Structures are given as C-alpha cells and as structure tokens.
Amino acid sequence: MELPWLGEHCSERSCKQLDFLPLKCDACGEVFCKDHIRYDDHKCGSAYKKNVQVPMCPLCNTPIPVQKGEIPDIVVGAHIDKDCKYNPAQQKQKIFTNKCLKPGCKRKEMMKVICEQCGGNFCIKHRHPLDHDCKGSSQPISKA
C-alpha cells in the first residue's frame, strides 16, 4: 500500500470497505461508504433527530407545528378541536345557482345571462328576447 493514511473504512459491520471518499452521517457522525450512507442502509439510531416531518391537518390541509417532545396526533387533534378552519358547507356549495326566469324552465346556469332589455336572468336557451317573451322594451324586436 503506497498511501495507507488515505480513506476510511465503512462503519457498517457487514461492509468495512476502504473508501477514499467516505461520507459522514449527519445524524450519528459515523463514516460510511456510498452504499451505506442513507439512514435506513446503516440502521441509524439517531435518524429521528434529522427526520423532521410536519403533520398536515386532514380537514383543512394546513401544516401543524409540533414542538419537540409533543405527540403529533395529539397536536393535530387539538388543532381540529380549536383552530381548524374547515367548513363542510363550503365543500357542498352548488355551482349552478342562476335559475332561468322563463316560466316553466327549470334550467340553472353557472354564470348569469342577463337580458339587455328586461334585465332578467335566463338560461342559454332563453337568453334572447324572442325566446323568453321579453317585455322590457317597447321597441320592436326583429326576428333577425
């Protein structure tokens, strides 16, 4: 061996490979080769320090801050009981709310279709003054 001081051996018991570009685990501080640097690959006992996940509220989809030592399930439950801004009525709002004013028509449109002459709200089928027997203007309506 010409340069025995270069490189380090992998800390994984089953590997012990001499690696010239060793990687240091940021959780436990041990040195590993490229095959064992992931927390799961070397069964890191300190991975919980780095594996920080922020729980999300299942109702309003907002992140819930959890302090060290707190159980995430309890914190999310407290959020749901007190601070959750989930509104079930908002989920069930109807889109088609603009009912046609033509007698006998039950159609509803997503957007208002206002007649320029009488100012009434109608469906696409009855939007033209001749289609809904418009009485808004005294001007003669052409059939063009």
pLDDT in tens, the chain (144 residues): 566 678 899 999 899 888 888 899 998 999 999 999 988 889 888 887 776 778 898 888 889 988 877 888 888 999 988 888 876 655 566 677 889 999 999 998 888 899 989 889 999 999 998 888 888 765 555 555
| pTM beyond 0.75 | no
Per DSSP, the residues of 26-42 read TTT--EE-TTS-STTTT
7-51 placed in CATH 4.10.1110.10: yes
Question: Which pLDDT score is estimated for 20?
Answer: 87
Query: Where do the domains of the chain lie?
Result: 7-51, 52-88, 95-134
- The Cα–Cα gap between 8 and 29 comes to 14
95-134 CATH fold: Zf-an1 domain (4.10.1110)
Question: Which pLDDT score is estimated for 31?
Answer: 94
Question: Which pLDDT score is estimated for 138?
Answer: 55
What token pair was written down for 72?
């995430």
